[in-house]
Amino acid sequence: MNKIIISIKSSYSWIGLSVLLLYLTSCSSILNTSKIHHLTTSYCEPTCAYNYTFVNKESKLTTQQDSLLRLVLSPQNYFLSQTIGIQNHIASLLECEKDTLKALLTHQEINDRITLYLIEIDALAAELDCYAERLDQLSHYVDAINEKTQKRITILSVTLDAAATASAIFTANPFIAVGGGLASIGLSALTISPKGKRVDIQHKRNLLRNIWYNDNSGKEFPHSIWLIINNPDFCNIPEKSIREGLKERWMHLEFEGDIDSETVKLFFGDGGLYTASDLHDRAHLVKELKAMVNTLKQDLRSLRAALNAI
């Protein structure tokens, strides 16, 4: 009878140990190291606000000038020239064919406006590139920590299983084997579906949010770029803007057609606790947005070609 009681107590000890180990290894703590602090600091954001007043002035064309522009420019080039503020200059260029000096000065003014638009594209792409690189570094760092934890759990599981088996053999106590087996199974389960460490990221300036909610009230995007990406004439998908097309790709490719409210809040809100997987996903979204911004240069090339023909 005493042996049975001792055996049961021993088995409870193993089960208690297994529960303790499961608790200690399954705790998903928030990482808060100096490296995390540096990587979560918003050093990619511009140090000063964009000023659009110079570029985005309304065109003042006569009916004749407007008709002439629509004859020489495609609908896309017409809208782009209006967006970056060079319609008046193009109209002047068409009217001063014999005035070489005036035409030269007008060409220079057009080039200045186009250069400024290019700088806006490059500046936005640079910010997104910086942010994506930061997310990549963060995700790799968290991955490395999770991998170390995985190895420790695996080693602990094997050691515990071996110790329990040996104890059961030498003491002829099957309860010890059961307790050790439960602990080993529990630890093995953690290696299959680990919670992993998390990182707290807060992002007041969230360019993904602008795309998701179609809201640029905070002027995070340059006004000219925002107008272009919301115009269906610049998208290959019929009756959809570039922004809408990007959001659709995110929905189907990154979120597999289904996204819950918590994920929406995390990715397109003010931030929260990110796992390594979340960081990888966010990096993908940022890189896709950066690629979309860079494709705007293709439309500018078309406008350049049209202007060179004048």
217-270 pLDDT, tens per residue?
999 999 999 999 999 999 988 889 999 999 999 999 999 999 999 999 999 999
Q: Which residues of 162-176 are buried (b: 16+ CB within 10 A; e: fewer)?
A: ebbeebbeeeebebb
pTM of the model: 0.79
Number of domains in the chain: 1
CA angle 52, 56, 61 (to 5 degrees): 165
Residue 303 lies in a domain: yes
In percent, the amount of the chain with pLDDT more than 70 equals 72
Q: Which residues contact 239 (CB under 8 A, 6 or more apart)?
A: 232
Q: Tell me: pLDDT of 192 over 60.
A: no
When pLDDT is averaged across residues 36-51 and rounded to a whole number, the result is 79
Q: Identify the domain containing residue 302 by its residue range.
A: 31-52+118-142+196-308
- Residue 179 within a domain: no
Whether 134 is in a domain gets the answer yes
Cα separation values, 40 from 100, 169, 221, Å: 55, 52, 22
284 by Cβ neighbours in 10 Å (0-12 / 13-18 / 19+) ranks as middle
Over residues 83-112, the mean pLDDT reads 88
Structural domain includes residue 6 = no
Q: Residue 130: its pLDDT value, please?
A: 95
Whether 234 maps to a domain, the answer reads yes
Percent of the chain at pLDDT exceeding 90: 51
> pLDDT grade, residue 2 (50/70/90)?
very low
Q: Is residue 223 part of a domain?
A: yes
- Tell me, yes or no, whether 231 lies in a domain: yes
Domain for residue 136, yes or no?
yes
CA dihedral (223, 227, 229, 234) positive or negative: negative
